[in-house]
Amino acid sequence: MDRSESGKSGGDGVGAGVSRRLVCLGSGDYLGVEGRPVEVQVDLCRRGDGSFNIVGLPGKSTCESRDRIRAAVRNSGFRFPTLKILVNLAPAARQKEGAGFDLAIALGILIASGSVRAPGLGDRLARRGFQGELGLQGEVRPVRGALLVADCLAGRGAREYVVAAANAREAGLAGELEVYGVEHLRQAVEVLRGERGPSAIVESEPKYEDCPDYSEVVGQEATKRAFLVAAAGRHNILLSGPPGIGKTMLARRLGGILPRLSRREAIETIRIRSAAEGETGCEFSLLPPFRSPHHTVSHSGMVGGGSRPVPGEVSRAHRGVLFLDELPEFSRRTLEALREPIEERRITICRASGSVTFPSDFLLVAAMNPCPCGYLGHPRRPCTCGQRQVESYSRKISGPLADRLDLHCRVAALEPGSWIEPGPRSAGLDSRTLRVQVAAARELQSRRWGKDLVNSDISASRLIEGGRFSKAGLDALRRASRRLTLSGRGFVRALRVARTVADLAGKAGVAEAEVLEALSYRDAADGARES
């Protein structure tokens, strides 16, 4: 670099390592759910023609930042330099996307042109990161991936992070950074000058009382029992029954009996939301996420995808519940794509530019009608479907997918008006009672298998070895496996459910009674085909 053009570093209050004409600031982007550091290098040249270029494989939205930044700087009361401006986003061999570099580029231009000066500024820049989109009035808008970028910058030695005020709470979850939330470019300049301190981050925590309660569901005690088993061992469940009997009500209350997430698990879910919906800011919550996509959801909307892969519903339900209502109405391709995340607890999206793996450890709850009209087996309303229609409808759920649903529960129709009677409401199970039982069962499983492990995580060999199954129970399971034509996978999943039933009863061993209850939940899976 020609120092006659660039000037001497340190003599203008900018500080060591930063010249009057070349400034480097830390920023970042992300791919998948992993942040990637990016160095924003801003160079001003006197022999230029007033052009403004960005290099380093910027995407379309990044290239468009030139006009946004020019207007934002001028409308914020600063002079935009007429020199030639060259911005390099390093490393140059990696594609950059998004408007999150706006703030760093604008500040780099102001520092390099001498509009912003402060003692020791260069030293502070070395430990600071910047991210935010600029509006034409100079306002700083939130962007996706603030937490992901904060994590990667902290790993690279940054100690301070300047972001949009709407992203401040999310970025503060990184824990190792002082976060400066700013609403305008002028406020970011105040941070550089040392005139503005870090933001106060206050975490608000939703409570279980914010979740709907099972006491509001009258009757359906047998189905509540099935949900208790599903929550205790994290088993997938399929509900089948006529419309209007409470299948959706039951499913939406499952989150209220699941254990709270650990802080580590909560951060995992926020990292996914940061990549998927971060412009709105991500609230910290220890409640398990609940996702309920409509059956018209696209394939990429369910599993993730796009030219720049973003998490789908199976990942946004990570550590929580994925509820699929009207299961047969989902496209066959979308349903079959669920098999990998159900088994592997992750989903890999492959593109020409590479592959991205998203976590997708969720509890699947599915609901369906028994036939197209919905009234097959209804005690009062006759079914209008033909046999061929019923068979075609049931075949929409493939054998391999049905095999991965541990509990198949038929939900019975209630007598009209029974929900207005006070007796059943007061006698029914409520979420607090179920939550206590789930917590006790989970504690037994953690002691037996290890911290944070539940029965649905355990392999067949370890389950039989340490599950303490009685001979009578195993014999009953062998006999039923022939009657129900269970696959090997179905056999193992029945073992896991039986172990969970015993844990709910506080029993060290699994007797025949627990096995028979587990098998009762497989009756609806009779004829499931092995993949």
CA 93/CA 90 separation, integer angstroms: 8
Considering only 10-24, 25-39, 63-77, 256-270, which range has the smallest mean pLDDT?
10-24
Residue 64 is given by DSSP the state T
Q: Could you tell me the pTM of the whole model?
A: 0.88
What pLDDT shows up at residue 522? 83
What pLDDT shows up at residue 56? 95
pLDDT tens by residue, 288-297: 999 999 999 9
Mean per-residue pLDDT over the chain, rounded:
87
For residue 424, whether the previous peptide bond is cis, meaning omega lies within 30 degrees of 0, is no
CA 65/CA 68 separation, integer angstroms: 5
The candidate with the shortest Cα–Cα distance to 205, out of 177, 169, 162, 232, is 169
Domains annotated on the chain, with CATH: 3-192 (3.30.230.10), 208-448 (3.40.50.300), 458-531 (1.10.8)
What pLDDT shows up at residue 278? 65
Considering only 192-196, 203-207, 526-530, which range has the smallest mean pLDDT?
526-530
Give every CB contact of residue 479 below 8 A, 6+ residues apart in sequence.
none
pLDDT tens by residue, 220-264: 889 999 999 999 999 999 999 999 888 999 999 999 999 999 989
Residue 3: how many other CB atoms lie within 10 Å: 10
What pLDDT shows up at residue 308? 83
What pLDDT shows up at residue 152? 94
pLDDT tens by residue, 38-47: 999 999 987 7
